[in-house]
Chain A
Amino acid sequence: MTAQPLSNRRGGSFPAGCLLLFFAVFFLTGLAAFYFATLRPVMSYLAARSWQETTCTVLSSQVGTHPGSDSTTYSVDVVYTYSFGGRAFQSDRYGFLGGSSSGRTGKEEIVARYPPGTRVPCWIDPAHPEQAVLSREPSAEWLIGLVPLVFMLVGAAGILWSLRMSRRVRATASALPLAPAEPFGLLAPPAAAGGSLELKPEATPWGKLLGLTFLALFWNGIISVFVWQASVGWRAGRPDGCLTLFLVPFVLVGLGLIYAVIRQLLILFNPRLHLTLSPGTLAAGQTGYLQWSLGSRGGGVKRLTIILEGREEAQYRRGTSTYTDKSVFATLTLVDTRQELEIPSGSTSFAVPPDGMPSFTAPHNKIRWAVKAHCDIPGWPDSEDEYEVLVRPGGGA
């Protein structure tokens, strides 16, 4: 008799719970910041369209100073009185976004418009006359709230991804590790049966830019705190050599990320390669057709290379981290041209080898096929994109 049943073994579980929490924190933090910085002022601004204008008397006006641990922020502190419905009210609210921020000059200009004793217009909420503002105009400061949107987007994407993973875990939580319903573990993309399919890159240029920007901001945001500390020491003549040395590799990584962001920013101006594959799902032994189009900005491309690649992908844990190794087993060159007339658009046919290994996916081990396109642009960052394609078993197999 053999040892433990092999069919009982389960693949690694997926820590969807803690990931969900991690991304939820991102999302909620971004949501809260976005709400207070932008959404709430915008809602108040819209509601205030129906507020009533009246005249108020300024009692005092000054720029408030709020010293912080790293810097000082300022606020518009104007106190004024007004009457409504035979009652007297007092308010200190200037606009819909309270609090304080940097930039003293702008606030001084505002305060200068409200010298004590002057009578100025203000707007009050007739339903709640204790609510009043001196200015109901939108402020550029509301745009600060767009920054937390990045956190919300990252958090939302992460939540959706974690939920998808946890559904997969729950689906396989039976006593035995059941094989997926689809024999090769993959579903064909929609509208692909027999028809053509416009291929979508694994990561869009904007997606890559967003990801890199977020990573660069996150990394450099944290590192900058320590760099600032180190620089304070250097400027005060008490340099911390150990801290400085320690920071060097981290700063280098940060600079590398900034370079990557700038490079990706330049790539945004690269011509977009549109690929259409017919049929949308390839089959071993079948002829496929690939059409490409670079659009109006394709003139800068001096060489276009498109290959179809098949590869193994094996994922494993190393300690508490996960890695994926890849090994290419098939490469078909579909397009390799430097001809000016051929580069902007064209089509080609190719034969998928009759004994080609179909696409396959399991939690840790995959056979993946991808169309990889490379646009060589002299004097500019090249474009490299990868488009996953499905190769199903051949009809004759």
Chain B
Amino acid sequence: MGWIQVETRDGVTAFVPGETVEGTVSWQLEKPARTIELRLFWYTQGKGDQDVGVVTAVPFPEPALQDRRSFRVTLPLGPYSFSGQLISLIWALEVVAEPGARTGRIEIVVSPWRREVVLQPHSPAG
């Protein structure tokens, strides 16, 4: 059974906006891939329909059946990782091998405090 995965350096998964994320993508595939690409993106989860925003896509040219490649991406200034009652915004690094849509993904946190911003419901004052 093949596999494909992405890891960050030292397993760090909390970053501040604008920081550079380094890591490696590794795979062992049963069938050759035409393209393998790492994507830095955010997505929403919650009551609303999902939004997805791909910030960067890093291609790995001429992928072999088995390989390990390093990457370096710079995070944008936002949006921040957050969770409220209705919306969670989650950052992730995802590596995708096509054809076949074989993927590996890890979640990361992006915010000035290196933790997810939690929005508590609030009663109007006054």
Q: Tell me which residues across on chain B come within 8 A of A176, comparing CB atoms.
A: 39, 54, 57
**Chain A interface size, under 10 / 10 to 19 / 20 to 34 / 35 or more:** 35 or more
Q: Tell me which residues across on chain B come within 8 A of A393, comparing CB atoms.
A: 17, 77-78, 80, 112
Number of B interface residues in the complex (CB < 8 A): 50
- Tell me if A312 is interfacial: C-beta within 8 Å of chain B: yes
Give the contacts of B2-60 with A (CB-CB under 8 A).
Answer: 2-4, 17, 39, 41-44, 46-55, 57
- Tell me if A48 is interfacial: C-beta within 8 Å of chain B: no
A163 to B42, CA, bound (A): 27
Given contacts A312-B84, A328-B121, contact A179 B41 (CB under 8 A): yes
Contact, CB under 8 Å: A6 / B125 = no
Q: Tell me which residues across on chain B come within 8 A of A333, comparing CB atoms.
A: 125-126
- Tell me if B119 is interfacial: C-beta within 8 Å of chain A: yes
A2 to B95, CA, bound (A): 10
Contact, CB under 8 Å: B103 / A2 = yes
Residue-wise, chain A 1-40 has the 8 Å CB interface mask toward B (1 for contact) of 1111111111110000000000000000000000000000
Contact, CB under 8 Å: A331 / B125 = yes
Interface segment, A108-116, A149-157, A286-294, A362-370?
A362-370
Q: Tell me which residues across on chain B come within 8 A of A137, comparing CB atoms.
A: none
Q: Tell me which residues across on chain B come within 8 A of A394, comparing CB atoms.
A: 112
Closest Cβ–Cβ distance, residue A320 to chain B (whole Å): 13
A176, A330, A336: residue with the most chain B Cβ atoms closer than 10 Å: A176
Task: Name the CB-closest residue of B to A309.
Answer: B124
Give the contacts of A280-334 with B (CB-CB under 8 A).
Answer: 305, 307, 309-310, 312-317, 325-333
Contact, CB under 8 Å: A364 / B52 = no
Contact, CB under 8 Å: A179 / B54 = yes
Closest Cβ–Cβ distance, residue A323 to chain B (whole Å): 9
Task: Name the CB-closest residue of A to B18.
Answer: A183
Task: Name the CB-closest residue of A to B106.
Answer: A2
- Tell me if B109 is interfacial: C-beta within 8 Å of chain A: no
Task: Name the CB-closest residue of B to A358.
Answer: B78
9 contacts between A and B (CB under 8 A): A1-B104, A11-B52, A325-B47, A327-B85, A328-B124, A329-B119, A331-B123, A360-B78, A363-B51
Residues of B within 8 A of A (CB): 2-4, 17, 39, 41-44, 46-55, 57, 76-80, 82, 84-87, 89, 92, 94, 96, 101-105, 112-113, 117, 119-126
Give the top 8 A-B pairs by smallest Cβ distance, nearest first: A314-B48, A179-B53, A397-B112, A183-B78, A362-B51, A329-B119, A314-B86, A364-B49
